Structure 1
Amino acid sequence: MKVALLGLGLMGLPIAHRLVHCGHDVIAWNRSKERLKIAKEEGLSVESSLTAAVTAGEVLILTLSDAEAIKDVLFDSSVKPLIKGKSVLQMGTISPDESRDIGASVETAGGDYLEVPVLGSIPEAKSGELIVMAAGSESAYHQTLLMLRGLGKEVEHLGPVGKGAAVKLAMNQLIAALTAGFSQSLGLIRAEGVEVEQFMGLLRQSALYAPTFDKKLKKFMEHDYSNPNFPLKHLIKDIALFQQVTEASGMNSEISNATLKVLINGQNAGYGDEDYSSLYEAINPGFDAETDIGC
């Protein structure tokens, strides 16, 4: 399948490599020349011209940062006429309303729109083990299903546009909630001098356990959040979106609002570009690993 992948950020690059690995003809484009250069050095076919990239693809995959970036790229006056007859797959985390708005514009331009946000990070993208949440055009879904199964083995169609975006926001809210909750519990354990492994041994036996706790434990213990697959600043963007959607739905958004404040505190403390688990430092400020009696 001829794919034009637009956006070579943290997820765009490994997704492009995975598609090539699965036998697809991929042409990659990015606004930043630096990322384009990296992609070329890594063996990907790249195109510096957006219109040339869009023209080359029968399927357009958008791995862009937010709805504003998607609209700027996809509905540029030179690009919009080229959408006709193409399937447009949107993989970023945006709100349901934003996705519905983009989908309507794609359909007006004569294209098929499928939202396919994914759960997972760089390792899962490389191995084809992402969780893919598809919603929208059924024709685009069936046309691209085999390709999507190269990214995630189980690719379920959730219904009309907006449902995939909603599920993705719900998933990312759990990322923040689980990490924040575990950070607070672990902070208490360490402050009271309880052996961390004793606590973890009990936790692993309980219904409260989530694999992400062990996945992030080393980062908490060593206070090292470098080389992120999902930076804190990106989680802030997603939780802010979640909060907007819940408020518009009439839900009580106090929990997400409190979580967002903690995340922003972490960013203000200099952790914005670090792994999102660095929110531990905002929950347990000033905690010194060298004097951690619980270790």
Structure 2
Amino acid sequence: MPTVALLGTGLLGEAIGLRLLAQGVKLHVWNRSAEKCEALLAAGAEPIDHLAGAARSCDTVITVLRDGPVSADVVAALGDLGGACCLPMGTMGISESRELATQVQAQNGCYLEAPVLGSKPEALKGSLLVMAGGDTDVFEAQLPLLQLLSGDPKLMGEVGRGAACKLALNQLIASLTHGYSLALRLVEASGLEVERFMEVLRPSALYAPTVDKKLERMLGHHYADPNFSTALLRKDLQLFLREAPLLGIDASGLNGLLTLLKRAEHTALDDGDYSALHELTSKR
């Protein structure tokens, strides 16, 4: 089994770490807030007290950090990577990922972006959807590790294409959640029972399983214990809107949704499940 350094042990990072430990991986862990490593340390991980030089005894460095700039700063603090592979699993921009690949090469490492779709439950079960970007030989070398986290890790192409896939998917999360929220608001305001509406929606081509996953939260206004927060959804939508013009895409239609999500800042909705977007579509 490989030796892995895991940098970033938030909700998803912790679950990834627990899965790797359960599969026999030797794991070293670091987080800016050290208390977030406690569950992994209790499960058998070793702490990284100082980032400098921490990668030289590892085969792979997995980062699960907030964004591209934070990932670049933390990886830079490692110094010489000693040939280790840097495997960022958080969401970042296409250009950010390509810049990080160049940085990693300068630090004597190899690079494979590997953003994931899924959160804590999927990570613990090893059923994350991995969309990698990088050289084929690097992907093949990391495949046994990725298969501990995903039933079918996919190589999307060169560096940047995995990041593009992840940004596209997260934009769909935002847009679908917004669309379903508006539909539910109209249905309820008209006096139509939501379940009658769902009886028509479920067998139609318009149906997506996410609506049933979030329906109870939306109708019950229950957003605690999130797997993916409103704040992170807003962050990723902002990232999509920043990257889109660089690729010649007019994504201005999403600006209204971003404005809506900004209303959650500095409120309890920001830390809640992203389906809290439903609260923002009410005039009340």
- Post-superposition offset of 1:259: 1.5
The corresponding residue for 2:118 is 120
Q: TM-score, normalised by structure 2?
A: 0.95
1:268 to partner: Cα distance: 5.0
The CA deviation at 1:223 is: 0.5
Partner Cα distance (1:267, 1:161) in 2: 32
1:88-141 C-alpha deviation (Å, 9 max, x unpaired):
111110000000000011112221100000001111111111100001132321
- Of the structure 1 ranges 14-23 and 164-173, higher mean CA displacement relative to structure 2 is found in 14-23
User: Residue by residue, what CA displacement relative to the aligned partner does 1:71-97 show, whole Å, maximum 9, x if unpaired?
Assistant: 211112xx222x131111111100000
Matched, 1:31 2:29: no
Q: Do 1:2 and 1:57's aligned partners in 2 also have CA atoms closer than 8 Å?
A: yes
Aligned alpha-carbon RMSD (Å): 1.4
1:229-278 CA-to-partner distances (Å, cap 9, x unmatched) read 10100111100000011122222122221211111123355411111110
Distance across 2 between alignment mates of 1:269 and 1:37: 28
Corresponding residue number in structure 2 for 1:84? 82
Identify the residue that residue 236 of structure 1 maps to in structure 2.
Answer: 234
Match of 1:160 in 2: 158
1:5 aligns to 2:6 (yes or no): yes
**Could you say what secondary structure the match of 1:235 adopts?**
helix
TM-score (norm 1): 0.92
Would you say the 8 A contact 2:122–2:128 is kept in 1?
Answer: yes
* Conserved 8 A contact 2:133-2:160: yes
Secondary structure of 2:86 counterpart: strand
8 Å Cα contact 1:119/1:131 also seen in 2: yes
**Stretch of structure 1 that moved more, 101-110 or 250-259:** 250-259
Percent sequence identity is 41
CA distance in 2, matches of 1:7, 1:62: 6
- Aligned residue for 1:181? 179
> Which one-letter code corresponds to 1:80 in the other structure?
G
Q: For the Cα contact (< 8 Å) 1:141–1:157, is it kept in 2?
A: yes
Q: State how far apart, in whole Å, the 2-side matches of 1:109 and 1:51 are.
A: 12
Q: How does 1:138-149 map to 2 (within 5 A)?
A: 138-149=136-147
Aligned AA (1:122): K
1:30 counterpart letter in structure 2: N
| Contiguous gaps of at least 5 residues in structure 2 | none
Structure 2 partner of 1:63: 64
SS in 2 for 1:8: coil
Aligned length: 283
Structure-2 separation of matches of 1:156 and 1:37: 32
Query: What is the CA-CA distance between 1:52 and the residue it aligns to?
Result: 5.6
Separation in structure 2 between the aligned mates of residue 9 and residue 17 of structure 1, nearest angstrom = 12
Q: 2:149 aligns with which of 127, 142, 151?
A: 151
Structure 2 matches for 1:182-201, cutoff 5 A?
Answer: 182-201=180-199
